[in-house]
């Protein structure tokens, strides 16, 4: 096994250490799943031969336990909707969950020794063990953040978590994606013991030797809480669940993962665990058949993690500046750059920049000339809300070395970086298009805002329009179709701008294409469910974004988008 090392201690306890070579974190890839299957088979054969280990401890050789699933693999899962049958998808998607169930049913006491992050599939693995020991440290987090990427925990997570921590806490964790600390996990019943880093594996081994094998719900004596069984049959459960997690009725409609997770709770928790997992896996297939999941995995994770790497292509290696100075009243937040000291006279100067219309919130970052009295030291011009940005845009300078030095500074911020060679930002395009749509809407202010609200465009509208009339909250969630003409119109404006920016430089084009959706989402709040303007148009082109309104609009949009680049984006 390349990803799992197996040893045995003096008491006969087997210790399986997960440690994927060449990766900073352990994740559940196809290779890791194959090795986990090999580990389970090793123990099953030992049991069949009458020589079982005294117990099994699963831990990690990295600074964290398991960070979740390999999201490149999850992206491939989403692409299966174009070619695979429902059953083929179900067989593939449920494989990890079936492995965890085999692990859980081993007649050998099994304990997870959690030494750091245990997120997504990592926590699902820990919950499939018969016990959990966790390092008592502030950097430890245990959670199921799949909903933030349009997914659900599809390896038994929606069924095991509520059986450990109860309905209310599990519903909140599943729907808001927020993790627990080690102390919170212990208090909730998710973790059995806390230990120091030095004694983690030893504590887990002691626990293995003092416990019986098997999950609590596989015992004939197991009974679920009756109040839970009653609650999950209540017609108001969905509303209650969204209230617990702080999710609006509108977002519950736009983001299908919310309803999918609630359906897993309603349909599975009152059933025996095997039947409950079947419910989860069926729902997971339906969710992965929805383009929103693929959109969010791509734009909210894969593109974000790849942006900086793509932007560095072709730039020379440079020594990173060690100090920076802020010009004017710019506030980047506390400690914006790691290992860079803030000084009055520094290697790098950072100033706020405004767009052509005088606004300072366009999220355009420009490399300019040195300020007076600083010689040839470069200046990075940033907007004043840098502290709240997850993704930053750097407008390229003519010099590759200047770009490299600016990138070196921004890399110290731990944010995703898009190096843009366009004189205009996609965010400027979106803001301009939103203002034009508002001016030409021909409807009441309340009607226009309702269109925005229907598809999640209100954040963009608030940034774009200074005097935007925000009505009292609607008592009913507007139908998504009401806002689709506006959403698609904005997306076409971005698309038209994009086609004018492409050059003969394939590398620059790749960065531009990858960055458009990313910057739109994290720059001015284009709705995440769409995956960004280009992904939104791709959905429309493939017929995955249903619209039964104006046939004239449909024909116009299809004509505008029907060209070589459009098909390239659609197939990506």
Considering the candidates 55, 68, 120, 121, report the single residue annotated as catalytic.
Answer: 121
* Polymer length in residues for the chain: 572
Active site residue 120: no
Residues 6+ apart with CB under 8 A from 399: none
Of 78, 566, 457, 572, give the one whose Cα is nearest residue 291: 78
190: left (phi > 0), else alpha (psi -120 to 50), else beta? alpha
Q: Which tokens belong to 307?
A: 């942006």
Phi, psi angles (nearest 5°) of residue 400: -65, -35
Number of C-beta neighbours around residue 319 at 10 A:
9
Q: Put the strands of the sheet holding 391-395 in their side by side order.
A: 341-342, 323-326, 348-352, 379-382, 366-368, 391-395, 416-420
Do the Cβ atoms of 351 and 331 come closer than 8 Å? no
Of 496, 311, 491, give the one whose Cα is nearest residue 415: 311
Q: How far apart are CA 120 and CA 141, in angstroms?
A: 11
- What is the DSSP code string of 63-99? SSSB--B-HHHHHHHHHGGGTS-HHHHHHHHTHHHHH
Do the Cβ atoms of 379 and 371 come closer than 8 Å? yes
Q: How far apart are CA 269 and CA 430, in angstroms?
A: 44
Considering the candidates 69, 204, 231, 406, report the single residue annotated as catalytic.
Answer: 69
210-247 in b/e form (b: 16+ CB < 10 A) is eeebbbebeeeeeebeeebeebbeeeebbeebbebbeb
Q: How far apart are CA 4 and CA 21, in angstroms?
A: 10
**Crossing angle for the helix pair 506-524 and 533-542, to the nearest 10 degrees:** 100
Q: Which tokens belong to 220?
A: 């004939």
Considering the candidates 68, 97, 120, 124, report the single residue annotated as catalytic.
Answer: 124
Q: Which tokens belong to 147?
A: 């909903």
Q: Name the pairing type of β-strands 13-18 and 4-8.
A: antiparallel
Active site residue 481: no
Considering the candidates 104, 116, 118, 146, report the single residue annotated as catalytic.
Answer: 146
Task: For residue 314, give the DSSP letter.
Answer: T
3-state secondary structure at position 97 = helix
Q: How far apart are CA 425 and CA 362, in angstroms?
A: 8
Of 271, 201, 199, 196, give the one whose Cα is nearest residue 233: 271
Residues 6+ apart with CB under 8 A from 302: 71, 72, 75
Q: How far apart are CA 363 and CA 428, in angstroms?
A: 9
Residue that the structure tokens 């989403």 belong to: 78
Of 48, 61, 78, give the one whose Cα is nearest residue 22: 61
Residues 6+ apart with CB under 8 A from 436: none
Do the Cβ atoms of 107 and 52 come closer than 8 Å? yes
Q: Name the pairing type of β-strands 55-60 and 13-18.
A: parallel
**Active-site positions?**
69, 121, 124, 146
């Amino acid at each position: 096994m390349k990803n799992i090392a197996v040893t045995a201690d003096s008491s006969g306890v087997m210790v399986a250490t997960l440690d994927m070579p060449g990766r900073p974190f352990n994740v559940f890839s196809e290779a890791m799943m194959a090795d986990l299957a090999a580990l389970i088979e090793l123990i099953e054969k030992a049991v069949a031969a009458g020589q079982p280990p005294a117990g099994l401890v699963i831990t990690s050789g990295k600074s964290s336990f398991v960070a979740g699933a390999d999201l490149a693999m999850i992206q491939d899962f989403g692409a299966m909707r174009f070619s695979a049958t429902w059953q083929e998808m179900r067989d593939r998607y449920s494989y990890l969950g079936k492995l965890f169930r085999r692990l859980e049913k081993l007649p050998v006491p099994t304990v997870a020794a959690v030494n750091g992050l245990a997120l997504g599939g990592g926590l699902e693995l820990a919950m499939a063990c018969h016990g959990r020991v966790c390092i008592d440290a502030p950097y430890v987090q245990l959670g199921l953040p799949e909903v933030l990427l349009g997914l659900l925990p599809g390896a038994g997570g929606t069924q095991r978590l509520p059986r450990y921590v109860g309905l209310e806490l599990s519903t909140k964790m599943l729907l808001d994606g927020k993790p627990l600390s080690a102390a919170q996990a212990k208090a909730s019943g998710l973790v059995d013991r806390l230990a120091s880093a030095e004694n983690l594996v030893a504590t887990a081994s002691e626990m293995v030797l003092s416990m019986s094998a098997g999950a609590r719900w596989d015992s004939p004596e197991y009974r679920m809480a009756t109040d839970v069984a009653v609650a999950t049959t209540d017609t108001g459960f969905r509303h209650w669940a969204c209230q617990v997690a702080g999710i609006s009725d509108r977002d519950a409609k736009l983001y299908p993962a919310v309803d999918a997770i609630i359906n897993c709770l309603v349909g599975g928790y009152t059933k025996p665990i095997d039947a409950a997992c079947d419910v989860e896996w069926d729902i997971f297939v339906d969710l992965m058949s929805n383009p929103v999941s693929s959109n969010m995995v791509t734009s909210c994770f894969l593109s974000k993690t790849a942006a900086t790497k793509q932007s560095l292509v072709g730039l020379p290696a440079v020594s990173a500046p060690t100090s920076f100075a802020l010009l004017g009243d710019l506030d980047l937040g506390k400690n914006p750059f790691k290992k860079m000291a803030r000084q009055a006279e520094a290697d790098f100067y950072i100033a706020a920049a405004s767009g052509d219309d005088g606004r300072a919130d366009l999220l355009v970052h420009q490399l300019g000339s040195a300020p007076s009295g600083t010689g040839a030291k470069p200046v990075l011009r940033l907007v004043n809300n840098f502290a709240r940005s997850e993704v930053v845009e750097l407008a390229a300078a003519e010099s590759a070395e200047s770009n490299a030095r600016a990138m070196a500074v921004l890399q110290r911020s731990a944010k995703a970086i898009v190096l843009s060679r366009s004189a205009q930002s996609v965010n400027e395009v979106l803001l301009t298009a939103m203002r034009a749509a508002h001016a030409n809407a021909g409807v009441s202010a309340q009607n226009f805002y309702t269109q925005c609200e229907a598809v999640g465009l209100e954040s963009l509208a608030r940034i774009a329009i200074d005097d935007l009339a925000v009505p009292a909250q609607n008592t009913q969630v507007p139908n998504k179709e009401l806002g689709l003409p506006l959403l698609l119109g904005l997306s076409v404006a971005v698309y038209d701008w994009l086609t004018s920016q492409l050059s003969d430089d394939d590398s620059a084009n790749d960065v531009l294409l990858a960055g458009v959706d990313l910057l739109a989402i994290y720059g001015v709040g284009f709705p995440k469910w769409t995956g960004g303007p280009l992904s939104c148009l791709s959905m429309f082109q493939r017929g995955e974004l249903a619209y039964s309104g104006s046939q004239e609009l449909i024909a116009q949009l299809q004509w505008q988008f029907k060209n070589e680049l459009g098909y390239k984006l659609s197939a990506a």
